[in-house]
Each structure stands twice: as C-alpha cells, then as structure tokens.
Structure 1
Amino acid sequence: MKCVLFVSVLVVWAAKESVCKPACRYPPSQWCSSYEIAVSCQVEKQCVEFNRSQSEAPVQVSLYYESLCPGCRGFLVMQLFPTWILLMDIMNVTLVPYGNAQEKFDGKQWQFTCQHGEEECLGNMIETCIMDSLGDADKYFPVLFCMESSQDVIKSGEACLKLYEPTVQWESIMTCVKGDKGNKLMHANAQLTGALKPAHQYVPWVTLNGEHTDAMQGKAMSSLFNLVCSTYKGEKPVACTGATKTKPTTYCMN
C-alpha cells in the first residue's frame, strides 16, 4: 500500500514537471529501482526518502501460543519480553493466544477445546480480553508477562492487572471473557492461527515480518534479540551494537 501511494504521488509530481522537463522513459514502478533511473527521472530525493522509510520499518514479531504451554511461557518470559524491552523502538509484537486449540460453532457461539484443558481456554480468553481492553503493547504486554511468569497464570491475572493498570477494573475484563465479545475475539484468534502459511505444527510458533521458516524459528528460540537486531535494516540501536554512549553524569558530592 505504501509503495502504491508513493508511486501515485510521484506520477502526479512528474506530470506537473513534465511541461518544462524531459519525460521519464521508465515506468513509475521502476523509478526507485536504481539511483541512475531515479536521477534520469528526476526523483532521486523522493526515492531516498522512500527507501529510508522502508529500511527503517520496525521488525514485526508475532507469537502464536497457549497460555499454559510450558514452552510458550518460557519463550515469552525469557526471550520475547526482554527483547521487546530492549528493542521496542525497532520491533512490534503481536500476541495470539490460541495455539493448538480447536473450535466448534454450536449454533449460538463458538465452543473451544484447548490442549491443556479448560483452564488454558480461560487463560487464553483472559489474555485476549486484556489485550483488547488495554489496546497498546506497552500497556498489556507487562500484564501478560506478569501472568505468564507467575506460578499460577489465571489466578495472578487480577493482581497483575492491578499492578500495571490500576485504573482498569478486573470486572470489565471478566465481562469480556464471559460475554459475546470475548467469544468473537477468540474466534478471531482461531482464524489468524488457521491462516498461517505454512500451517503451524507446534507452539510457540514465531513469525518474523509475517514469515516462518525452520531456520528462523530456531534462531528465535535460541536468541530472539540477535535475530531482531540482524533483521532490522535501519540504523542499529545502541543495544544491538554494544556501543557506549556518553551521557552527562550527575554526582552527589560529600
């Protein structure tokens, strides 16, 4: 979509300039394919800005998981959350709690069967409703991290929400969980999981910029931090390079 919009803008711009400048002999789709073509079509400045915006796009990391799956909990707590804390400026996170669950429509609503039983279905639903209620990852991710790192994921939900988002009432989350909204949200998770290509074979299942390979999954599981740093095409943040940055230091003297 960004590319189409950009090309459209360039076409309009070129049309205005064509009165006094030679017409470009390349189609708009090729204007930014090389510096020479950009120069010949007199759009080099626009192409530099466009290519910079494309290269600096955040890395999209999606986790398809189950709330009570030990491997999922370990990856979220030990890999995904710490990486996000350090690299949130260059990565976006999507969490989809459904995993190996199954759904069936009973004529009124969707019924879910989860790999680790009814408790896991409840955990999936609670986390889904928390994400929907809080909206932004910087609000809901700490709550989910708190839940997944606790001894009891479900029982800790209310306390974790109160700790990180004290203005949100637990009752509103449970209204979503028990109501039609939560049912529809979980069905959406099922559709997202079912649409994976290739289809998921296990959880945790990780995609990077919408793609999944065995090699990428292996890198994500061993060091997601290094994978995100190496994937990001923009200027690497200090956390990735290990460089030190001098900052003004204030001391309290005797």
Structure 2
Amino acid sequence: MNSAALLLSLCFVGSYSQQLCDHPPSDWCSTWEIAKACKVEQQCIEYLSHKDLQKRDESPVKVELYYESLCGGCRKFVVLQLFPTWLMLNEIMEITLVPYGNAQEKNISGKWEFTCQHGPDECYVNTIEACIMHHVMDIQSYFPIIFCIEISSNVTSALGPCLAAFQPELSVKTVMDCVNGDLGNKLMHENAMKTDSLNPPHDYVPWVVVNGQHNDTLQDRAISALLNLICEMYTGTKPEACSGKGMTPLKRDSVCLN
C-alpha cells in the first residue's frame, strides 16, 4: 500500500470515531495516545512503517573521488564540479576524498616511500590533504580547505592561508607534524590500499565512483554534469538546486593517465 492509500485509510477509519477524537487528521499519528483516542493505531503503525522505509530508500548519493593533488584534470573537477555541486546538494550526497591517484609505494625498512606522478611536491600536498581530513574529520569543515588548496595558484604553499581562512583553530604545525611523521605515512599507505583495491582498477584520475559503481557512463556523466547526475540518482524529494542548470562541462581528456 502506498502512502496515499495509507492516508486515505486513516481518514476512512478516523471518520467513524471523530466524535471521540478531538484532534485533526494531521495529528492522528503524532503520538500513540492520540492514535488510540482516534482508534487508528494499526493504520498509524502501517503509515509510519511506510514512511520509515521511504526514508531509508532516500539515502544520499555516495561519491568517491580518487585523485592526486597536482593533476590538472583533478583540480578542474574539484574546483568546477565537485565542490560547487556539494555546496548546493550536500544534504543529498556523501563525498569521500582519496588523495593518492597514480602514485606508487614501496616499503623501505618498514616505512612506506611514495613516488608521485607529478613529483615530490604532489606527494607532499597529497599528504597535507590526507592529514587535514584526519584532523578535521567533518567534511563540512575540511572540504572548503581542500578546495582552497586546489584552487590556489601555488598549491604547495597554500596550507597556511587556507587554514587561516577556513579552520584557524587547526595549526600549520599540527598538520606538518602529521605530514612529516608516522601518521602521515600511515594515512598515505591507507589511501594507497584504497586506490589499489578499486574494482575495476583505475586507468586515470580523477576516478569517480558513484554508489559503489564505476563505469564509463557514470564517469562521463560525473565529469561533465555532476549536479544533474546526483539529482537524477537521488530517490527522495529533489532540492531546489536540482531545478537549475548544472556546472560548466569538462572534457573527458581532462585526466591524468595512470
């Protein structure tokens, strides 16, 4: 029975007991006492159960981004698609950021050493971003910092200004202690394992996984019109932002090949 039918059932049953019920129909299922007084207990159980199932079906769209900090295509995607879409639709989407990309790792005497596609600076900024995520934890707070770094003209020196603008309570020293210490090494190894376990394996970055799935169609849709894709895939009531236009399209060749 759909929600409309359940509401009709409530009204039909309740009409027999209106002389005992001093509450409007909109309140009949608000408390168990009111439901009993209006003699609609069973209908309320069914109605609320249906609403709970609907709520569970309306789960956020999950977007995982596997990227590297100095890849031009990754930066364009973060700046022009992912961050603006998240600003408008963060209540219906969950984002996971994994900075590592096409890097390689090797265990040297018990410590992981990394080689990155765009050189040591990229390994350095990848680790900065991983450490920021670890210390801040809440994406509502750390994503603006990551965006600030990725949009900066000098990515390698953006940490201080971006922290000052978006998370002044987190010190540069705290982040750099992580970057230069065992914690940063551990975080980057974890990102390496996440990236290396992708199925299918990534051929390039940015590599986008939506609701646990990656294929050429999803990738192309995400890269070219992420906002439209999220709006289409979300099963609940669409937010107002879904009635507007999407972000500036990006070309598929804006990637860094593995």
TM-score by length of 1: 0.76
Alignment partner of 1:221 out of 214, 220, 223? 223
Structure 1 unpaired stretches of 5+: 1-42, 243-254
For residues 205 and 158 of structure 1, the distance between their equivalents in structure 2, rounded to whole angstroms, comes to 28
Alignment partner of 1:161 out of 151, 160, 163? 163
Q: CA deviation at 1:116?
A: 0.4
Q: CA deviation at 1:195?
A: 1.0
- Pairs within 5 Å for 1:194-205: 194-205=196-207
Alignment partner of 2:90 out of 88, 91, 105? 88
Structure 2 unpaired stretches of 5+: 1-44, 245-258
Alignment partner of 2:51 out of 49, 56, 70? 49
For residues 160 and 112 of structure 1, the distance between their equivalents in structure 2, rounded to whole angstroms, comes to 25
Secondary structure at the aligned position of 1:183 is classed as helix
Task: Write the deviation string for residues 2-57 of structure 1: whole angstroms up to 9, x where unpaired.
Answer: xxxxxxxxxxxxxxxxxxxxxxxxxxxxxxxxxxxxxxxxx844651342122210
For residues 58 and 221 of structure 1, the distance between their equivalents in structure 2, rounded to whole angstroms, comes to 19
Count residues in correspondence. Answer: 201
Q: CA deviation at 1:158?
A: 1.2
Runs of 4+ in 1 over 6 A off after TM superposition: none
Asked if 1:173 corresponds to 2:178, the answer is no
Task: Write the deviation string for residues 67-89 of structure 1: whole angstroms up to 9, x where unpaired.
Answer: 00000000000000000000001
Residue matched to 1:115: 117
Residue matched to 2:104: 102
Residue matched to 2:80: 78
Alignment partner of 2:239 out of 227, 237, 252? 237
TM-score by length of 2: 0.75
For residues 185 and 177 of structure 1, the distance between their equivalents in structure 2, rounded to whole angstroms, comes to 9
Q: Which amino acid aligns with 2:132?
A: I
Aligned CA RMSD, in angstroms, stands at: 1.4
Secondary structure at the aligned position of 2:157 is classed as coil
Q: Which amino acid aligns with 1:198?
A: P
Q: Which amino acid aligns with 1:114?
A: C
For residues 213 and 164 of structure 1, the distance between their equivalents in structure 2, rounded to whole angstroms, comes to 35
For residues 135 and 154 of structure 1, the distance between their equivalents in structure 2, rounded to whole angstroms, comes to 22
